[in-house]
Chain A
Amino acid sequence: MMRPGFHDPVPEAQGCFRAMLDAMSRPGRVHTLDVALDAPPPLAPATAAVLLTLADAETSLHLMPDGAAAGDWVRFHCGSAPASLPEASFVLSLGIHPPLSALRQGSEEAPEQGATLICQVRSLTEGEGWRLAGPGIRDFHHLRVEGLAADFLQQWAAQRPAFPRGVDIILCAGRQLAALPRTVTIEEG
């Protein structure tokens, strides 16, 4: 039996998007979504809500790991075209995420074609951990993320010189989400 998507799609997608927009414009801020979403495991409610809000038949999506149990739910509700890792506009990662350099980076003329990595992690904690700086942040924000690749900070630092090309990340844990746009610089806290 296929589990449902949003109960009230219009306001729930809007609420989720505003949380994402604020997360993207204030990197490191953690938002808690207020959605009643019964997503199939291992999809966290926030991950499922982000997919329902952004992905549709006009987007391409790469599922990691391929054939995850929640894959049918994502394919049914979003209807996104499957795409290989270097070509997808959205990449969904539920375990250890792929190296950022393997994702679509966009071009100098069209950097907006760089992929968005929707990355489900174990936990997000605001106010401790990494020190974030960049557009959207007055002084510094602190964010601790549990569940990223061990060498994530090196991967992130490696994509910085290529700006404006790069990958943007939406981090999801439980009902929480935060975002890391490509402009942000991350230092070990």
Chain B
Amino acid sequence: MSHDPGYNFAYLDEGTKRMIRRTLLKAVAIPGHQVPFGAREMPLPYGWGTGGIQVTASILGRDDTLKVIDQGADDTTNAVSIRRFFARVAGVRTTTRTAEATVIQTRHRIPEAPLREGQVIVYQVPMPEPLFRLEPRLAETRRMHALADYGLMHVKLYEDIARHGHVSTAYNYPVMVGGRYLMSPSPIPAFDNPKMDHMPALQLFGAGREKKIYAVPPYTSVRSLDFEDHPFRPHRADGTCAFCGARDSYLDEVVCDDQGSRMFICSDTDYCESRWEPEQ
């Protein structure tokens, strides 16, 4: 498959790719540290994954196989349009199978199937600054990262426990990377946080509107913040997938009618399909 000759390979011009590539190397060298970059305007609005797309465009090669998921699903609008975008401007193979992909761009989920060495997962990040809701001044949060001064986040978690009896953060649950940097895992469910710890694949994060890139190299410690007497507990809906019967995957709750009936289904469509295909 060849790419649309009206565009440079993978849409971005080579100067922009070099700039993003330099940023990516520094991001990998300082795990969890947000590196500013000159995000370009992309042919889709902020909030639709412009950061992730720019990272993907800068690493993608002709031999790559791309998978794009949105909340775990391969068939939702954001995933379909980004997959078609790269099929057109880069002419790369695309897939919905996690195991076949070399590059996976994701919005708000990590696939259920364990990722392996050689794969790269690119997260779309709306707000890279984990301290943003506690300290709105970026000049101040930069200093807090410089000093590894993360007491404010611990106080926030403590107040959650004092008020609700447990940490009320169910997604975008803050993590410490390599024991040094507090990092936003992007709005993935806390259920997915343990998958980031010592993952064999390379994890890259792109925030287009906020113009930041950060990364977690393979086999790097990623620890969800917690307290000795209130250890981190990933939350999962207590149910079974209505399609494949999975009891271990992350579930979406689907309202079926206006009588209040509902069902749970796997959020990861590829995982779900791979479980019921052999039975057919």
A157 to chain B, nearest CB (A): 17
B54 to chain A, nearest CB (A): 14
Chain A at the B interface: SS class: mixed
Is A111 part of the contact surface with B, judged by Cβ < 8 Å? yes
Is A14 part of the contact surface with B, judged by Cβ < 8 Å? yes
Known: A14-B61, A15-B61, A24-B29. A183 touches B178 (CB 8 A): yes
Is B170 part of the contact surface with A, judged by Cβ < 8 Å? no
Assess whether A56 is in contact with B15, with CB atoms less than 8 Å apart.
Answer: yes
Known: A10-B9, A54-B21, A58-B19. A168 touches B219 (CB 8 A): no
B135 to chain A, nearest CB (A): 14
| Pick from A13, A26, A181, A183: contact of B218, CB under 8 Å | A26
Among A17, A25, A26, A183, which residue has the most Cβ atoms of chain B within 10 A?
A25
B36 to chain A, nearest CB (A): 8
Assess whether B25 is in contact with A135, with CB atoms less than 8 Å apart.
Answer: no
Is B22 part of the contact surface with A, judged by Cβ < 8 Å? yes
- The number of residues on chain B lying at the interface, defined by a beta carbon within 8 Å of a beta carbon of chain A, is 43
Is A162 part of the contact surface with B, judged by Cβ < 8 Å? no
Assess whether B14 is in contact with A9, with CB atoms less than 8 Å apart.
Answer: yes
Assess whether A136 is in contact with B219, with CB atoms less than 8 Å apart.
Answer: yes
Assess whether B19 is in contact with A135, with CB atoms less than 8 Å apart.
Answer: no
With the chains together, A183 CA to B198 CA distance in Å?
A: 15
Assess whether A109 is in contact with B18, with CB atoms less than 8 Å apart.
Answer: no
Assess whether A137 is in contact with B219, with CB atoms less than 8 Å apart.
Answer: yes
Is A176 part of the contact surface with B, judged by Cβ < 8 Å? no
Is B27 part of the contact surface with A, judged by Cβ < 8 Å? yes
Is A112 part of the contact surface with B, judged by Cβ < 8 Å? yes
Assess whether B28 is in contact with A25, with CB atoms less than 8 Å apart.
Answer: yes
Assess whether B22 is in contact with A54, with CB atoms less than 8 Å apart.
Answer: yes
Contacts of A26 on B, CB cut-off 8 Å?
A: 217-218
Assess whether A13 is in contact with B30, with CB atoms less than 8 Å apart.
Answer: no
| Pick from A10, A21, A24, A110: contact of B14, CB under 8 Å | A10
Assess whether A168 is in contact with B26, with CB atoms less than 8 Å apart.
Answer: yes
Nearest residue (CB) in A for B38 is A58
Question: Which residues of B (1-54) have their CB < 8 Å from a CB of A?
Answer: 8-9, 14-15, 17-19, 21-31, 33, 35-36
Is B225 part of the contact surface with A, judged by Cβ < 8 Å? no
Assess whether A168 is in contact with B25, with CB atoms less than 8 Å apart.
Answer: yes
Assess whether B30 is in contact with A112, with CB atoms less than 8 Å apart.
Answer: yes
B51 to chain A, nearest CB (A): 16
Known: A15-B61, A56-B18. A136 touches B9 (CB 8 A): no
A15 to chain B, nearest CB (A): 6
Nearest residue (CB) in B for A89 is B22
Assess whether B147 is in contact with A108, with CB atoms less than 8 Å apart.
Answer: yes
Contacts of A114 on B, CB cut-off 8 Å?
A: 26
Is B89 part of the contact surface with A, judged by Cβ < 8 Å? no
Assess whether A164 is in contact with B218, with CB atoms less than 8 Å apart.
Answer: no
With the chains together, A112 CA to B25 CA distance in Å?
A: 9
With the chains together, A59 CA to B8 CA distance in Å?
A: 22
A173 to chain B, nearest CB (A): 19
With the chains together, A13 CA to B19 CA distance in Å?
A: 13
With the chains together, A56 CA to B216 CA distance in Å?
A: 26
Question: Which residues of A (98-123) have their CB < 8 Å from a CB of B?
Answer: 107-112, 114, 116
A115 to chain B, nearest CB (A): 10
Is A3 part of the contact surface with B, judged by Cβ < 8 Å? no
Contacts of B180 on A, CB cut-off 8 Å?
A: 163-164
Nearest residue (CB) in A for B15 is A56
Task: Give 1 or 0 for each of B208-241: 1 = CB within 8 Å of chain A CB.
Answer: 0000000111111000000000000000000000
Is B142 part of the contact surface with A, judged by Cβ < 8 Å? yes
Assess whether A18 is in contact with B18, with CB atoms less than 8 Å apart.
Answer: no
Report A's interface with B, CB cutoff 8 A: 9-11, 13-15, 17-18, 20-22, 24-26, 53-54, 56, 58-59, 107-112, 114, 116, 135-138, 163-164, 168, 181-183
4 closest A-B pairs by beta carbon, nearest first, are: A181-B29, A108-B146, A136-B217, A112-B26
